[in-house]
Structure 1
C-alpha cells in the first residue's frame, strides 16, 4: 500500500449547510430502483432499527418513521444497536448492524459483533424481518460498521474490526461473500490507524463506504474519537484491480473531510453515498454543531445527518469540500 497527498478545490459560491435530519448518527441513504430513497441510522437510544422512505432526499426529513426491528431484552445482540445499513442484495433487503451483549467495556472496548436481518417484501418498511444471525468473520473480536458492495458480479463485505496484535480500536477489512449474510473467504486488512489525524483520542479506522466512479473504486472511512477530532479519509483502487489485494489500494495521507471551526460543524464522519435526482453523487454524513459535550461523546444525541453534493477534480478524484458548505 502506498500513499499520496490530496488537494481540495475551493467552492467560491458555497452555501452554508443545515442538518437534513437531527439526532441521527451514522446515516445511510440508499436510492432503490423503485425510485424511492431509503434512510436508516443509529437512533440515540441504540435500541432499534428505524427505516424511512421518501420520493426525494429532502422528503426523508419528514417521512414516516417505521421501527423495523427491536433489540431483545437479553442475549448477545441485546444492547447498543449501532450503525445499521440497508442494502438490497440477491433479491431481498438486508440490514447489517452491530450490537453487544451488554454496555460493559472489556479490554478498553465494547463487545460488539455484526448481525444481519432480511426482508423479502418489495417494500422493506412492510413485511417481516427475519434474523439471519451473526456475520462471522472468523475473528472473535470487537467489530462493527459493515457495508456491502458488488463489483464484477461478486458481493463483498467491508467492515471495521479489532486485531489484538495491532494497536488501536479497529482496522478496515474486506472479504468476499458466499451469501448476503455469510463470508466466502478470509478477511483481508486494507487500512489501520497510522497518521496523526487517525489517532486523536482513539486509534480508529471505521465506518467504510464504497463509491465507484471514473474508473476507480473509492472507500471513504472515519477515524479518531467521535468528538470534534472525528474526520474522514479515503482509499482508492483501479476498477480492474483485485479488491482483495491490499497493494491495489492507495491511502491518502490527509483527511478529506474534517471539523470546520469557522462554519461550526464538528466531527464529520461515518458517511454514505447516494445519488440525487440528477444522478450526481451526494455525500451523506453526521456531525455536531457544538463541542461542549458533557461526558462521553457516545451518549450525546446531537449528531445530525447532513447531505451535500460531492464534486470532482480534473483527475477524477472526489472533492469533499468543507463540512459546513454545500
Structure 2
C-alpha cells in the first residue's frame, strides 16, 4: 500500500483549537471548538485529509443554565488506562450575562471501543489550587506517571493566564504539587491580553516540549515553546526553558493569520504533523472570539540540528504538502 500522503489545507472549516489523535486502531480522531460553543463533536477517519468529509457526531451538549452552560471551549480526546477521555472548558450563563468568562475545566469518560458510539459520563470538574478562570487542559504520560498541563489565572499575578503542571492520581484528579512553568513575559505574549494557553506536548530527542499559544486571538496570536530534559523533575519550574521568540506566527506572504492552539499527531507514514487553526484574513469585525473562520490546518514539520522542532511558516491554503 502506498503510504505517501498529501495534505491540502484547510482540513476542517470553522473548527478552532483543533485536536487530532491517532489511535492504535489506525483511525484519526478529531475534535475542536465549534463556532456556537455549545457542544462537543467527534469525527474519525482512516486519513487526516479524510477528516474533512467525515460525519461529525455530537457526543455532549451544554446545559441551559448554571455551570457547563456557555462557551464550551477547546475539547481534547485522549485514550488513557483503557478508556477514552475528553477534556474541555466551560463557563456559565447567568440571568444578567450570557457566557461569562469564568471557565472551569471538566472531564468526560467512556469505555466504548469507538468513542463516537459510546455513552459519555461526566466525571466532573478538575479542581486546582484556585477557583479562577481555567482552561485548555492537556494530559500526557511519562515514565508511569500521568501529568496534567493547563492554563489558569492566578489572582495574585497580573495577566489572564499562565501555564501550570501537576501529576494526576487518575484521569480527572490532580495530586501533589501544582507548579507554574510559564507566565507571559515577552512582548509577543502580551498583545491584547497577557496569555499563555493551549498547551500541547511533544516527546522527542530526549526532551519534552510544550508548545503553547500567546496574546489575543486575532492576527497577533502565535505559538511559543517550552522544553525540559526527559530526566528532569517536570514539576520544577527551573527544569523548563522558554524560547525567547515565537516558533510559529502570522505570515503575510502565505496569507495565514493568528496560527495557534495547536496539537500534534503523526502522518500515515509516521512523520510529525503540526495541527493548528488560523484565519486567511487579517482584519476582523467585532470580537475575534466570535469570528467563526479559524479553520483547522495541518502541516508536516522537521527538526533543527539542536534537536528542537522546526515548524517553519504556516503554509498557503490549498497548497499540497507531500
1:159 is displaced (CA, Å) by 0.4
1:16 is displaced (CA, Å) by 10
Q: Is 1:208–2:199 an aligned residue pair?
A: yes
1:123 is displaced (CA, Å) by 0.5
Listed one character per residue, the Cα deviations across residues 115-143 of structure 1 (whole Å, up to 9, x for unaligned) are 00101101000020001110111211000
Q: Please point out which of 276, 279, 283 is paired with 1:288.
A: 279
Per the alignment, residue 46 of structure 2 pairs with: 55
Distance 2:158 2:94 in 1: 22
Per the alignment, residue 138 of structure 1 pairs with: 129
Per the alignment, residue 152 of structure 1 pairs with: 143
Partner of 2:176, secondary structure, is coil
8 Å contact from structure 1 (residues 263, 324) kept in 2: yes
Distance 2:93 2:283 in 1: 28
Q: Is 1:191–2:178 an aligned residue pair?
A: no
Listed one character per residue, the Cα deviations across residues 157-202 of structure 1 (whole Å, up to 9, x for unaligned) are 0000001111110000000000101111232100000001000111
Distance 1:18 1:38 in 2: 18
1:105 is displaced (CA, Å) by 10
1:37-56 correspondence to structure 2 within 5 Å: 37-56=28-47
Structural RMSD (CA): 1.6
Per the alignment, residue 5 of structure 1 pairs with: none
Per the alignment, residue 297 of structure 2 pairs with: 306
8 Å contact from structure 1 (residues 79, 103) kept in 2: no
Per the alignment, residue 170 of structure 2 pairs with: 179
Listed one character per residue, the Cα deviations across residues 29-76 of structure 1 (whole Å, up to 9, x for unaligned) are 000011100000000000000000000101111011100100111121
8 Å contact from structure 2 (residues 66, 94) kept in 1: no
Tell me the TM-score normalised to structure 1 length: 0.92
Q: Please point out which of 146, 156, 161 is paired with 1:165.
A: 156
Residue 60 to residue 93, structure 1, CA distance change in 2 (3 Å): same
Per the alignment, residue 312 of structure 2 pairs with: 321
Distance 1:185 1:319 in 2: 34
Distance 1:202 1:127 in 2: 38
Distance 1:103 1:270 in 2: 28
1:104 is displaced (CA, Å) by 9.3
Distance 1:323 1:254 in 2: 16
Partner of 2:50, secondary structure, is helix
8 Å contact from structure 2 (residues 7, 49) kept in 1: no
1:247 is displaced (CA, Å) by 0.7
8 Å contact from structure 2 (residues 18, 275) kept in 1: yes
Distance 1:127 1:231 in 2: 35
Q: Please point out which of 256, 259, 266 is paired with 1:268.
A: 259
1:324 is displaced (CA, Å) by 2.4
